[in-house]
Amino acid sequence: MSTALALTDITVTYPDGDRRLTALDRVSLRVDAGEMVAVVGPSGSGKSTLLAVAGLLLTPDSGRVEIDGRDVSGLRRGDAADVRRTTLGLVFQQSNLIESLTAREQLQIVARVAGSRGPEVDARADELLAAVGLTDAAGRRPHQLSGGQRQRVGIARALMNDPALLLVDEPTSALDHERGAAVVALLAEVTRERGVGTVMVTHDRSSLAAVDHTVEMGDGRLAALAS
Ligand SMILES: Nc1ncnc2c1ncn2[C@@H]1O[C@H](COP(=O)(O)OP(=O)(O)OP(=O)(O)O)[C@@H](O)[C@H]1O
């Protein structure tokens, strides 16, 4: 089984007056391809910081970051952007869709930005929309979709570039319980079926049954949570 994400002994500090605040304290986390890990924990415990490190948006003070089996610690900015574009998929709290584009176009534009277009791009967009149950809604714009449907478009869009690692930030916060549970179940399904490694930060403990492992952050440290 290949490793989608390996964080080893990651420490992150932020300036805090004349001292430093330790947001992550020697945190290690490994996520295999095809595995979904949930990160829970109170506000301020370091969850967003963890996602920012895994997403190569924040360079840790120390520790090693590997994505898809490659050591990406200390990459220069441009190289980090390349790794982000080619190996990462991001799903946000709000779906962050572009208002003027249809669901299908939201997916196609990801490939266009990466420089590819043509029938394969269109076929992949349609295949992914089918995988998230939105074939019939492919021509709709965001305001014509429900919150759950918008989040499904966001998931399909994150999968367009066939990422090794999917980073998901509070995907259910704008949804009611039932729709939230369906979105997490969908994430677990695409994780398994597409062999992507998924890290999901969540406050919503009710949907944890669908994930493979749950870890809990507390004061910048990680502990496994018995499920
Ligand atoms: N840019 C920053 N500068 C200074 N301190 C920061 C910065 N970002 C986060 N922190 C601090 O680092 C700690 C961890 O923050 P982080 O945002 O990672 O927590 P979180 O678990 O994601 O919280 P929430 O659930 O509220 O989003 C907190 O004490 C926070 O105040």
115 located within any domain: no
pLDDT tens for the chain, 227 residues long, are 689 999 999 999 999 999 999 999 999 999 999 999 999 999 999 999 999 999 999 999 999 999 999 999 988 888 999 999 899 999 988 878 999 999 999 999 988 887 788 889 999 999 999 999 999 999 999 999 999 999 999 999 999 999 999 999 999 888 888 888 999 999 999 999 999 999 999 988 888 989 999 999 999 999 877 55
Q: What ipTM, to 2 d.p.?
A: 0.94
Cut 0.95: pTM above it: no
Q: Which domain holds residue 204?
A: 3-98+164-224
Q: Which of 37, 23, 36, 40 is nearest to 202 (CA)?
A: 40
* Number of domain units in the chain: 1
75 located within any domain: yes
Q: Ligand 1 centroid to 12 CA: how many Å?
A: 11
Ligand 1 atom at minimum distance from 48 CA: 22
Residue whose CA is at the smallest distance from ligand 1 atom 12: 23
Could you tell me the CATH number of the domain that includes residue 52? 3.40.50.300
149 located within any domain: no
139 located within any domain: no
